[in-house]
Structure 1
């Protein structure tokens, strides 16, 4: 048996496996349904996109809560559509803590820190109070601390804004997935 005969035997089974894998992928490709498409049905009626637009976002306490609410309003509505009837209500509480990562022992100051922001939230139907989606999401945002007080304050504020943006993205994806029927 020559080496070309061995190569032919090796290629044939792998070619068959590749053809089978491509065939299965083509069949499964028809099962894909975009989450935010108008044709994706929602558990609360209508499409997921219209259900997301029907969520009311009241004020959330705290600085991260303020930024989170603004990000959620933008991500869910975007300001592109006229106001839809608000049939769902979002409610959240935010907890934040700071973890000190490194300390400069020469002067006793923290060189860097990590802001840990946790949002516990739920979406309920207006009127009935039925919970249609709920969850807890947590993000960690590092920032540098400086000997200059205002630089540290600004870095902490920037970490809070980043945390709110990341929480809003996580919450939007989870609510959309929960509302898909």
Structure 2
């Protein structure tokens, strides 16, 4: 038989609710991605990046090196290696050539697509393959230099955003890696 609701005091129900919440939070395994306890920051500084094959790959690579190492540069003997392929595509949003001929800038977009592979150098195991895209909007002028410069500036903006996405993915992968054991020498 169930107890009558009037016999359960509000104080008792709050106590039970508090105990249930404490038990639920005790099983919670959430921690910051870049916490020192997981060693993710130290692992990020041990990532090496493959050489770039074009200008936009170089921009993304430079940004990734800066984000991963905090400005200290690449390690001499990286524990992890990242290969990167980045492509860029510029296009008009509108297909109206009459606007450009009238001297009105036409809206456009630059899309960067970056694919990457994170590999552990000690055993060559691929830890993650991924792909991200980043879009930057531009106004395309009739003037050829202004058009080229607008596209290059948009590529640079999109490259910074793409590097942030890729760095976050690399940090997630490295957070799951077991801590590196020190090598003792005699």
> TM class, shorter-chain normalised?
0.7 to 0.9
Matches for 1:76-87 after TM superposition, within 5 Å: 76-80=68-72, 83=75, 85-87=77-79
Find the residue that maps to 2:98 and give its secondary structure: coil
Change (3 A) 1:139 1:29: farther
CA RMSD of aligned residues (A): 2.9
Pairwise CA distance, 1:57: 1.3
- Which residue does 1:111 correspond to in 2? 106
Structure 1's 146 and 58: CA in aligned 2 closer, same or farther, altered over 3 A? same
Q: Does 1:93 align with 2:85?
A: yes
Instruction: Note the 1:30-179 alignment, pairs <5 A.
Output: 31-40=29-38, 47-80=39-72, 83=75, 85-106=77-98, 111-179=106-174
- What are structure 2's unaligned runs of at least 5 residues? 1-9, 177-186
Instruction: Return the offset for 1:70.
Output: 0.7
SS at match of 1:106: helix
What SS does the corresponding residue of 1:33 show, helix, strand or coil? coil
Normalised by the length of structure 1, the TM-score is 0.75
On the 8 A contact 1:56/1:90 being kept in 2, the answer is: yes
Question: What secondary structure is seen at the aligned counterpart in 2 of 1:102?
Answer: coil
CA distance in 1 between partners of 2:74 and 2:106 (Å): 47
What runs of 5+ residues in structure 1 fail to find an aligned partner? Answer: 1-11, 41-46
1:103 Cα deviation from its structure 2 partner? 3.8
Q: CA deviation at 1:155?
A: 0.9
Aligned residues: 159
d(CA) in 2 for partners of 1:142, 1:161:
12
